[in-house]
Amino acid sequence: MITNNLTKGVVAALSLSVAAEAFAEQWNVSLWGKRRAFTEHVEKIAELVEAKTSGEFTLNISYGGLSKNKENLDGISIGAFEMAQFCAGYHRDKNPTITVLELPFLGVNSLQQERTISQAVYQHPAVVKDLARWNATLLMPSPLPQYNILGVGDAPKTLDEFEGLTVRATGGIGKAMSAVGAVPTSMSASEVRQALDSGVVKAVAFAPHAHMSFGTIETGKWWTTNLNPGTVNCPVVVNTDSLAGLSDNHREALLGSVDEALDHYIATYNGKTMDAWGPALAAKGINSITYSEAELSNFKQVVSGPAAQAWVSDNAAKGIPSQELFDFVTALIAK
C-alpha cells in the first residue's frame, strides 16, 4: 500500500511538472548594442510580463546574439525569434509606410508626442498591411528625441558649410543632409565610432543616448544644439504567428504592459539620459554650435518641402496611400 501510494505520488508530481513545463512560454528577443535608454521599454515589458504570469511567460533578451540589427525584421519574418527592435531607416524598402515618421522637420517636440503619433500610425491599415508582409505585428515604438550632429574638424556654422561633410545619417535625416550638400552614409550604430575615428565620416547624427552609448562623444569636438532635423523611428515588433499562439492570459500580459513600459522608457530618457547629456558635453570639452533662426529657416525651406513631396511621390508609385499617410501624420502633429 505504501509503495502503491508512493508510486501514485511520484506519477502525480511528474505529471504536474510536465504540465507546468508545457504551459510555460519563452520568447527570444533580438536587440543590439547593450542595455541603454533605447532598450528600457523592452527590459521593462519583460519584467512586467514575467511578474504578471508568475514566471510562466518570459522574454529572453539578447544584445546581438541572435541577429544583426539590420536583419532583425528578416529574423522575425521566418520566426527565428519572437520579438525584435529595428529602425525603419535601416531598410526603407522593407517598411516604407513607417518611414513617413522619419521625414525631416515634421515638428514633433517631445518624446510623448513621438509616442502618441507613432502608436496611431502603427494602427493605420496601410501600415498593418505593410508589416504583415514580414509576418510582423508592431508592438510599440522607441520614442527618440530630435537628432543632432556631433563631429570632428571644422564645425559647419552656416548652411553652406555642410557642403561635402561626410555624416552618418539614416532615413529622413540622411535626406536632409543630402539636400544641403552633405554626404550621408548609412551604417550600423556599432560601426560608427570606428568610422569617426578613422575619418570615414566626419560627423554623426544620433540622439544623445546613442552618442554616449556608442562612444562618439569620446572623439567629437562639436555638437549642434538646435538643428533638430528629425529623428528615426525604431519599433519593437513581434512575430504575428507567435502572438496569435499565446494563451489569452499571456497575450494580455504582453499587450497590457505596453503603456507601462513606454511610461518607464520616457521617464528614464527624460531623466537619467538628458540629465547626463549636458555635463558629459562639458566634461569632454565639446563645443556647442547653435544656429540662428534665419539659418534654421533656410535649412527647413531647402529640406522639408522637397523631402515630403519626394516621399509621397515615390511611395505612391509603389501603390502605397502615401498622401493619406502624410496627411494623417501632419494632422496628428497639428493637434
Both 282 and 165 in one domain: the answer is yes
Both 132 and 252 in one domain: the answer is yes
Both 81 and 225 in one domain: the answer is no
Instruction: Specify if 123 maps to a domain.
Output: yes
Residue-wise pLDDT tens digits, 254-285: 999 999 999 999 999 998 888 899 999 999 99
Instruction: Specify if 15 maps to a domain.
Output: no
Interacting residues of 300 by C-beta distance below 8 A, sequence separation 6+:
105
Both 49 and 198 in one domain: the answer is no
Categorize the per-residue pLDDT at 4 as very low, low, confident or very high, splitting at 50, 70 and 90. Answer: low
CATH number of the domain within which 286 lies = 3.40.190.170
The yes-or-no verdict on residue 109 having pLDDT over 90 is: no
Residue-wise pLDDT tens digits, 6-58: 455 544 444 444 444 446 899 999 999 999 999 999 999 999 999 999 999 99
Residue-wise pLDDT tens digits, 214-230: 999 999 999 999 988 88
Kindly state the DSSP code that residue 24 receives in the 8-state scheme: -
Domain count within the chain: 2
Both 85 and 155 in one domain: the answer is no
- How high is the mean pLDDT of the chain? 91
pTM, to two decimals: 0.83
| Burial letters 214-232, b for 16+ CB under 10 A, else e | bbbbebbebbbeebbbbbb
The yes-or-no verdict on residue 97 having pLDDT over 80 is: yes
- At 18 the pLDDT is 43
- At 268 the pLDDT is 94
Strands (E), the chain: 25-31, 57-63, 83-85, 136-140, 148-151, 166-168, 183-185, 203-206, 222-224, 236-239, 287-289
* Domain that includes residue 167, residue range: 148-231+277-334
**Contact yes or no for 177/230 (Cβ under 8 A):** no
How many angstroms from the chain centroid is the CA of residue 32? 11
- Cα separation, 121 vs 328, in Å, equals 8
- Cα separation, 129 vs 85, in Å, equals 19
Rg (CA), the chain: 23
Burial (0-12, 13-18, 19+ Cβ within 10 Å), 85: buried
Average pLDDT for 175-184: 90
**Polymer length of the chain:** 335
* Domain edge (last residue) among 223, 241, 273: 273
Amino acid at 288: S
Q: Which of 82, 143, 135 is nearest to 270 (CA)?
A: 143
Lowest average pLDDT, out of 50-59, 185-194, 195-204, 325-334, goes to 185-194
Both 34 and 54 in one domain: the answer is yes
- At 5 the pLDDT is 55
Both 177 and 281 in one domain: the answer is yes
CA distances from 225 to 12, 18, 155, 173, 286 (A): 66, 58, 12, 15, 11
Average pLDDT for 75-91: 96
Residues above pLDDT 90, as percent of the chain: 74
Residue 70 C-alpha cell reads as: 539590420
- Cα separation, 331 vs 231, in Å, equals 18
Which DSSP string corresponds to 52-79? HTTTSEEEEEEESSS--GGGHHHHHHTT
Both 37 and 77 in one domain: the answer is yes
Both 130 and 264 in one domain: the answer is yes
